[in-house]
Amino acid sequence: MEIIKTEQLVKTYADHGVPVHALRGINLSIERGEFIAIAGPSGSGKTTLLNCIGALDRPTTGRVCVNEQDIDLLDNSERARLRLHKMGFVFQAYNLIPVLTALENIEFKMMLLGKSEGERHELAMRSMKELGIADLAHKKPQDMSGGQQQRVAIARAIVNEPPIVLADEPTANLDTENALILIDLMREMGRTKNVTFVFSTHDPRVLERVQRIIFLRDGNIADP
């Protein structure tokens, strides 16, 4: 079943008055449960495409549909609800709240979803156990390694079992061992929970393990 679709997706930025064509008419279809990568050199449009799919940015022209709904027709509050309830995000910089523990970082998303304190704790701990980081529950980000912080970020992304997880260069700051562990953990989650994982990456360690690669060059889908 198709969960994400883009039609003639165009995104143009203005850089000091000069137009920058980040995306030039992207047509893309992604099925529920796929484990895919958006690849390409720096400046090819990977992150821009991910941001448009994730309702973090609006296209200049064209459409992005999630579950057959044109998300550009949603107002800002509706787009925020879509991101909160239907998507999980994993960023290269982790984006953990430094004053909160790992458990509190994960529970914070549950609080936004209106879960009770007991349910927040139960779901957050379950998510951490699945990723093998339950022992980090009461540690703050500065007391964790990069690999540990990224696992916490992934636990936060998948804690409410969203149908879509978008990951922007999730392994860029990790050594090979930790990168492979995380990729395999996410792939298993995609298989067992039918979650759609879409990566923006140029990391060959990720590309070797995905089901499909969408290669971008100069804002267009191209052959690798």
Coil, helix or strand at residue 105: helix
Is there a contact between 52 and 132 (Cβ–Cβ < 8 Å)? no
Kindly report the pTM of this predicted structure: 0.92
Domain count, the chain: 1
Tell me which residue range forms the domain holding 42.
2-221
Distance, in Å, from the CA atom of 147 to the CA atom of 208, rounded to the nearest integer, reads 20
Closest CA to 113 of 82, 154, 146, 76: 82
Give 60's DSSP letter: S
Is there a contact between 26 and 222 (Cβ–Cβ < 8 Å)? no
Closest CA to 91 of 70, 104, 105, 73: 105
The residue written with tokens 């879409």 in the block is: 198
Which pLDDT tens digits describe the chain residue by residue (224 residues)?
A: 899 999 999 999 988 888 989 999 999 999 999 999 999 988 899 999 999 999 999 999 999 999 999 999 999 999 999 999 999 999 888 899 999 999 999 999 999 999 999 999 999 999 999 888 999 999 999 999 988 998 899 999 999 999 999 999 888 888 888 888 888 988 998 999 899 999 999 889 889 999 999 999 999 999 76
Closest CA to 97 of 173, 57, 149: 149
For the domain that residue 146 is a member of, what is the CATH number? Answer: 3.40.50.300
